[in-house]
Amino acid sequence: MKVLLIHPEDNSDSGSWRDLHWDWVIDLGLSGKNSYTHWNRHFGCPVNGLTSLRRGMNETGRVRDLFAAGRGRLVDSYGLDWWEILSICLTDQLETVIPLQRLAETVSGDEVYVSRPGFHATVLQNLLRGRLHTFPSRHGNRKSGIMHYIRVARKLSVSQIADVVCDKYDPGYRLRAHVSRSRRASEVPVVLIPTAYVNVSRTGIAYAGTVPQQNFLLVATRRSGWMKNLPSNVAAAWLSSYAVVRDRSAEAADIAIRWRALLRDLIELKEFKMLSDLGCFARFSKDLLHGLEVRDAWLNVFDHERVQSVLCADDSNPYTRIPMLLARERRLPSVACHHGALDGYYALKCTYGDVILAKGKMEQDYLVQRCRVPADKVEIGAPSPVELSVRKQWSRDALRSQILFVSEGYEVGNARAREFYRDVLPPLADLALSTGRQLIVKLHPSESRSERMSMVARVLSSQQMAVTQVVTGPLTDALLDAAWFAVTVFSTVATECAMRGIPCFLCKWLEYSFYGYIDQFVRFGAGIGLNDPSEISKIPQRLEEYEADPGVSTNLWQPVEAERLNDLLSSFSRVFNKASA
């Protein structure tokens, strides 16, 4: 049997494989159902996605066990476990390797071809012991050379390009340490909010609004986390302003020796052996050194400022996880939360915060039941109440002039954004045309407007384009107030809609994560599942029967009492509780 594997950056219509005979085609990425129907018709054989070989949270359990194998071996003098901090960066590779292992078992003995060289091909070449045929790439190595950087630059804003350059060439702040202006030390105790992204900053600031008597310090590791127009009880600083350039060679050498010993043990496990053969560990020693530089910058934050506790809204990011661990070493309170609706990484990582604040019952249940976080570590407590009373509540009879589609950076999951659009946008635009409404495509901050505009234009007719608008920026009250209904894959916007009673439909057939987000949303009333693109045209009929459940808001958002949050963030409370124990 001849099997064709199509790389996420390729498709069925271009390439020397398009006119050949195949018995089975497997998409190494993820496309929409309309695309697979076209592929099936074009090739005249069964077509499946690699996602069909994934096994949901069981797969996550394997990744969790792999990470656990290296813990406790790279602990520095401050109690930081560098394997535990940095290994989370291997998640994508492991979550690709594991289903590829299953695929190799499935096609064993077949004649297998992959559409281009790359990570997938190298893994399968290893698994199939050289029995894999690879079509030469028409574009050479697309991830190197000047054209690669031009392609990337077209997708990013100036600020995003600056972040990419700094992350690549100055990850330890050696250069920025010389040019960053230091700030005057705080004269009062502060709650530290580490941040790398704007949504993390917004979440921290929202909690700060719950306890206006507390002082907070927002420390940004990169430009994308910086916020202007802060509340009076929140100050801001750059982490680079606390960085120092000094000789760390002795400490780095000691950890490097232990890393080599750990790696020898790790590669006894087949998944890590494969990653090692692919060169995925080649930069680990450099990442360790940069990690020490980042750690020392955070140490200076603790030494320079009167940090009384840490509130972290993204402890999966190594840069913002470090201060959580340093707080534990210094016996300071630390509170974790998440800037989105759910965080599947809690199924993979250790939980070091004194408490994890879940925004409602849905997130609490997800953390305890799906991610296996100890129940006594999770407490319900969202930021200050959302003032829904002054916002327009959804009504079947109210004239709402827009259909809202909330897009995401699908490419991070090896998904084809244009094919997702091809499934969803034409039927939504047709609904807009037939009802005299406008289709709003709301982009995620990571998406390029010019690139997405080009994709939209390719999948919509001129008549459909006339009622379609692509917008960037935050999800505003104006957008929600005008929404007849919303559609997304599994964006956090589903919870924002549910809080207002706005029907939000979730595209289950396009789910590219196996962390179980959509099932959790649907189970707790945060969204309505769609199983097929054909169901989009039937949404108006479903709206006729739709009744918003007033109890859903408590599933999603139960604000923490100001007194309780103040207690969690108080070092006095920590000392008092320990003395009373």
Q: What is the pLDDT of residue 519?
A: 93
55 pLDDT more than 90: no
364 pLDDT more than 80: yes
- Please report which confidence band the pLDDT of residue 575 belongs to, taking 50, 70 and 90 as the band edges: very low
Structure tokens belonging to residue 340: 């989105």
Per-residue burial over 481-502, b if 16 or more Cβ lie within 10 Å, else e, is: bbbbbbbbbbbbbbbbbbbbbb
- Please report which confidence band the pLDDT of residue 487 belongs to, taking 50, 70 and 90 as the band edges: very high
Q: What is the pLDDT of residue 514?
A: 79
Burial of 256 (0-12, 13-18, 19+ CB in 10 A): middle
First to last CA, the chain: 68
Q: What is the pLDDT of residue 184?
A: 83
Please state, rounded to an integer, the average pLDDT across all residues of the chain.
89
Q: What digits encode the pLDDT tens for the residues 16-28?
A: 999 999 999 999 9
Q: How many Cβ atoms sit within 10 Å of the Cβ of residue 440?
A: 22
Output the pTM of the full model: 0.89
- Please report which confidence band the pLDDT of residue 362 belongs to, taking 50, 70 and 90 as the band edges: very high
Q: What digits encode the pLDDT tens for the residues 315-329?
A: 999 999 999 999 999
Tell me what the mean pLDDT of segment 174-194 comes to. Answer: 85
Residue recorded with tokens 């004194």? 354
Element (DSSP H or E) covering residue 402: strand 402-406
Q: How many Cβ atoms sit within 10 Å of the Cβ of residue 167?
A: 13
Q: What is the pLDDT of residue 154?
A: 58
Q: Cα 467 from chain centroid? A: 31
Q: How many Cβ atoms sit within 10 Å of the Cβ of residue 430?
A: 18
Rounded alpha-carbon distances, angstroms, from residue 511 to 21, 28, 254, 446, 543: 30, 15, 44, 18, 23
Q: How many Cβ atoms sit within 10 Å of the Cβ of residue 407?
A: 23
Residues 6+ apart with CB under 8 A from 546: 396, 503
Tell me what the mean pLDDT of segment 506-534 comes to. Answer: 93
- Say if CB 497 and CB 555 are below 8 A apart: no
List of domains in the chain: 71-90+176-392+554-570 (3.40.50.2000), 394-547 (3.40.50.2000)
Q: What digits encode the pLDDT tens for the residues 71-102?
A: 999 999 999 999 999 999 999 999 899 989 98
435 pLDDT more than 80: yes
**Nearest residue to 92 via CA among 288, 345, 265:** 345
Q: Phi, psi at residue 132, to the nearest 5°?
A: -105, 135
Q: What is the pLDDT of residue 143?
A: 53
- Residue 514 and residue 523: Cα distance in Å, rounded? 16
224 pLDDT more than 80: yes
* Pairing mode of beta strands 334-336, 216-220: unpaired
Residue recorded with tokens 């099997």? 3
- Say if CB 524 and CB 380 are below 8 A apart: no
Q: What is the pLDDT of residue 383?
A: 93
- Say if CB 215 and CB 186 are below 8 A apart: yes
- Residue 486 and residue 183: Cα distance in Å, rounded? 44
Least confident of 231-240, 275-284, 453-462, 571-580: 571-580
Least confident of 134-143, 269-278, 287-296, 362-371: 134-143
Tell me what the mean pLDDT of segment 488-501 comes to. Answer: 89
Which amino acid would we find at residue 349? K
Question: Given strand 438-442, what is the order of strands in its sheet?
Answer: 468-471, 438-442, 402-406, 483-488, 504-507, 528-530
- Residue 107 and residue 384: Cα distance in Å, rounded? 54
14 pLDDT more than 80: yes
Q: What digits encode the pLDDT tens for the residues 119-158?
A: 999 999 989 987 899 998 765 555 545 554 455 555 666 6
Q: Cα 526 from chain centroid? A: 19
For the chain, the maximum distance between any two Cα atoms, rounded to a whole number of angstroms, is 76
388 pLDDT more than 60: no
